Structure 1
């Protein structure tokens, strides 16, 4: 199962837990999503599926991915956990919601997500009615009829209270995304003339819902920057400090020797500023002003 190495561990984790082999590939330096050429090079007769990740709120190049999948008769499972509400834009101008293009789409309702509940939660999407029924059976202990277990299943039912929270928040999703996009536009404008900062690039084939505002640093002591921002009460995060192919649990999972320089470079240079739906102008100004002031004296050797 081919998936990018620069992502949250859950993407590869579920593949390994199922006894399958995650084949990790590099990402595009601009979009942080799976590199299309790297994906195609990784396909072998053993390949069964592709799991693209729509990282930080932006879609991977799904039109190209679906063409490759069709060519090689592969399934596509979209990891849309961070991209709820974003749209993929096809070459003909048609738009489609993230997570609705492949055979299955997966999303997360973790509280920090664009559409979050009050605890852990998630959902799967598919346009295949037969597959939908099978997924529903697995999610309910393998039952279609109560106490008749036709498949090996799990307890993966969303709690009613979480569903109620999501039902109340869903009508506001577009508003949430617009607020995030507005905050991202503010950051972009403030940082545009600083050569040490590379702001997020939005691909022509995708809208961006900005689950995270992740930028790249050039010639900056990242640890010093994060420490000094914390002293100002501004949290910064690194998503993700170690790509999956360098994680201890995955180093010996296969005999494959990886050379994935873009992911490793990104892990050394990315950082994420605060991003949520309630950021106001005063907060944004405070964050951006301090970020620019601190970064000016955090040059790396």
Structure 2
């Protein structure tokens, strides 16, 4: 039986009737774009975070693009973030005409090293963009202090951190606004692309709603400021409405899988995920480290286990961002991690039996290194 890092089919089998009911509800509603399901999901998702506004968009990348634009970030501005992230984070910054400025990450939790942020701030800095990576949050107190001191916006990338908490505060509520992705692999995933930007600020929310709808506000024919066609689909919204009621259960399932890995692999040479003090990890992915990572991944294919790497190429080394002027060696922790990290299978419906097969195969491979 082939095992991948992620598989939606077990979950679909468990929730099939509810998913099909959601599709039937939308198709029978008479409104397929920006209807009751989008409105209902936006209200529920905002309430889950204790915020007043959620604006559903077509994908997580555009949740960042529109969020940055709604905050007034654009050409000539700099946005401080990390290179150890999915490329869409940086693509979004580039898309609004701003310049991404990278800092290195910490070796223990792979998150933004906030000790490096102050030195990266210039008179062009407009925004700090922490990426809550792999399922846990960046240390936020130093960022908030810097933002207050320099008059900067904080915009959280929460694509991998649905439901994660930092000293009791839920991800997405620690800045001016935050972006979420609902790509199918996510902790809260749709059955296709989807995203949302959340905020407690009325003006930012009004900007977001205009931006996702061509720049229009009250009528289809009047553009107030050029925007996008970037609306969350009704079907995905209805599915997300239903799955949101199960989000805490999904998180509990992921933590159970993580606990089994920790118990079974704690005595191996793998470096297992470290949970930073004050964080409540939701384990979007279960990232481990080993200096012979590539050999391990290749050897596991003989057991029909296929793993992946998040992420093998730091963004600052990609040819598409060569214009930023970064070179190898500038972010040593990020580059070291890229050579050693890989992800084990992680999703709530991963059976104990299949996980044990992965663990046993992994231990056998490690014993032969």
Q: TM-score range by the shorter chain?
A: over 0.9
Residue 282 of structure 1: CA displacement?
0.8
SS state of the match for residue 56, structure 1?
coil
Does residue 284 of the first structure (1) align with residue 355 of the second (2)?
Answer: yes
SS for the counterpart of 1:284 is helix
Give 3-state SS (helix, strand or coil) of 2:324's partner.
coil
Task: Give yes or no for contact 2:317–2:328 (8 Å, CA) kept in 1.
Answer: no
Q: 2:162 & 2:86 partners in 1: Cα distance?
A: 16
1:280 deviates by 1.8
Corresponding residue of 1:154: 228
2:316/2:327 contact within 8 Å kept: no
Give 1:175's match in structure 2, choosing from 249, 273, 276: 249
Instruction: For residue 224 of structure 1, report the CA deviation from its aligned partner.
Output: 2.1
Matches within 5 A, 1:58-69: 58-69=136-147
SS at match of 2:360: helix
In structure 2, relative to structure 1, the CA distance for the partners of 1:175 and 1:5 (3 Å cut) is same
1:247 aligns with 318
TM-score, length-scaled by structure 1: 0.93
Contact 2:271 2:289 survives alignment (8 Å) = yes
Q: Aligned with 1:45: secondary structure?
A: coil
1:205-284 map, 5 Å: 205-218=278-291, 220=292, 222-254=293-325, 259-284=330-355
Distance 2:229 2:195 in 1: 13
3-state SS in 1 of match to 2:310? coil
Query: Structure 1 stretches of 5 or more lacking a match?
Result: 90-94
SS of match in other structure, 1:112: coil
Aligned to 1:139: 212
What's the TM-score, normalizing by structure 2? 0.77
CA RMSD of aligned residues (A): 1.3
Write the distance in 1 (CA, Å) between the matches of 2:103 and 2:284. 23
Structure 2 residue aligned with 1:70: 148
Partners of 1:245 and 1:258 within 8 A in 2:
no
Residue in 1 aligned with 2:277? 204
Question: CA–CA distance in 2 between the matches of 1:262 and 1:117?
Answer: 33
> What is the CA-CA distance between 1:231 and the residue it aligns to?
2.1
Partner of 2:94: 16
Kept in 1: contact 2:317–2:327 (CA 8 A)? no
- Given that residues 329 and 335 in structure 2 are in contact (C-alpha distance below 8 angstroms), is that contact kept between their aligned partners in structure 1? no
Residue 77 of structure 1 contacts residue 102 of structure 1 at CA under 8 Å; is this kept in 2? yes
Distance 1:78 1:43 in 2: 17
Q: 2:176 aligns with which of 103, 109, 124?
A: 103
Deviation at 1:244, TM superposition (A): 0.8
User: Unaligned regions of 5+ residues in structure 2, if any?
Assistant: 1-78
CA distance in 1, matches of 2:129, 2:239: 29
Distance (Å, rounded) in 1 between the aligned partners of 2:343 and 2:194: 24
The reply to whether residue 124 of structure 1 matches residue 197 of structure 2 is yes
Pick from 165, 190, 197: which aligns with 1:87?
165
Instruction: Note the C-alpha offset of 1:39.
Output: 1.4
2:267 to 193, 214, 217: 193
The structure with the greater share of residues assigned to helix is 2
Instruction: Measure how far apart 1:253 and its partner are.
Output: 2.3
Judged with a 3 Å threshold, the aligned counterparts in structure 2 of structure 1 residues 201 and 120 are, in CA distance, closer, same or farther, namely same
1:144 partner SS: coil
| Aligned-residue offset at 1:279 | 1.2
3-state SS of paired residue (1:110): coil
Taking the aligned partners of 2:196 and 2:329, their CA distance within structure 1 comes to: 32
Cα distance, 1:252 vs. partner? 2.0
Q: How many residues end up aligned between the 2 structures?
A: 290
Distance 2:119 2:360 in 1: 44
Q: Quote the residue 2:11 is aligned against.
A: none
**Secondary structure of the equivalent of 1:204?**
coil
Give how far 1:166 is off. Answer: 0.3
